[in-house]
Amino acid sequence: MTAEGVTANSPGEVHLHGKQPLDEVMLAMDVVDTLRRRQRLVEREYDSEGREQDLKERLHKIYAAQGIEVPDHVLEEGVAALREERFVYKSPPQSFATRLAHLYVSRNRWGKWVFSSFAMLLLAWLVYHFTVVVPRTELPAKLEMAYQSVVEAANSDEPGQQAQQIYKAATSALQNGDEESARLALQSLQDLRDVLGQAYTLQIVSRPGERSGVWRIPEDNPNTRNYYIIVEALSADGRLLQVPVVNEETGQTERVSKWGLRVEEDVFQRIAADKQDDGIIQQRKFGVKQSGQLEPDYLISTTGAAITQW
């Protein structure tokens, strides 16, 4: 059967005019592959003048042994393709595009190192951002909030004035780039707010094996003694509280559950005699601290100076 532009040569072989059938192309490629595998045959026959016909005959025999009949023009096509290196892969010339392609193909080799390095850099940036940058930007707002919380909690002018002085010092420190001083000021404001929020009863420690008072000889005046009564703070439900106390010997503020308050010698001797009488201090209540106040209302005379270790 024939039609315009179409030729039927045999059953199963149909192709357009001017185009080689796919099965012939495949055969030609197979011929080239066979020639490459039989390199000695090619070198002996292909390089000799007038021996191309012998080469095709040998190829006929090779394919006939496999039960394949290959037309002469297909063998000629295969030999010509081998000569022209038509089916040989040739690396493209070096260029930016080929370098990118090589990088992409070898990504399994170098990709994990690049990813690990990127992950480490990202982690370092996150740590720096959340431990340095964020706290630095939040510091002014935290100072403002701490100052306002003290003002709101105070029930007298004194705590507010004290908080204002601390806040101004912190603001000045920030303007001068002194973040450390600003953070210390923030801690002072927070401590002040905690003190104002506390309400407790101050009582003298009176338990077996524990001291109710101590005396010290100051280094700068060895001819005198400083007397202290040991006290503790109890909440309304009887819980022992920790209170920020300034140690007059070191100047440091410490959170303690027991501390010594300085008293005159006669007060110290009176409380000592009360305890020596029967081992019990009859008047243990030393003072009362109300919420919103900085200091307790003392029921026993004291200078308010304190120590935290003895």
* Bridge-based pairing state of the strands 213-216 and 253-256: unpaired
DSSP three-state, residue 208: coil
pTM score over 0.75:
no
SS3 sequence of 270-290: HHHHHHHHHCCCCCCEEEEEC
DSSP three-state, residue 194: helix
- What is the predicted pLDDT for the residue at 10? 41
Residue 25 burial (10 A CB sphere; 0-12, 13-18, 19+):
middle
Do 262 and 167 form a contact (C-beta atoms < 8 A)?
no
Per-residue model confidence as pLDDT tens digits over 83-136 = 666 656 667 777 887 777 777 777 777 777 777 887 888 788 778 666 665 556
Per-residue model confidence as pLDDT tens digits over 204-260 = 999 888 999 999 998 888 889 999 999 999 999 999 999 989 999 999 989 999 999
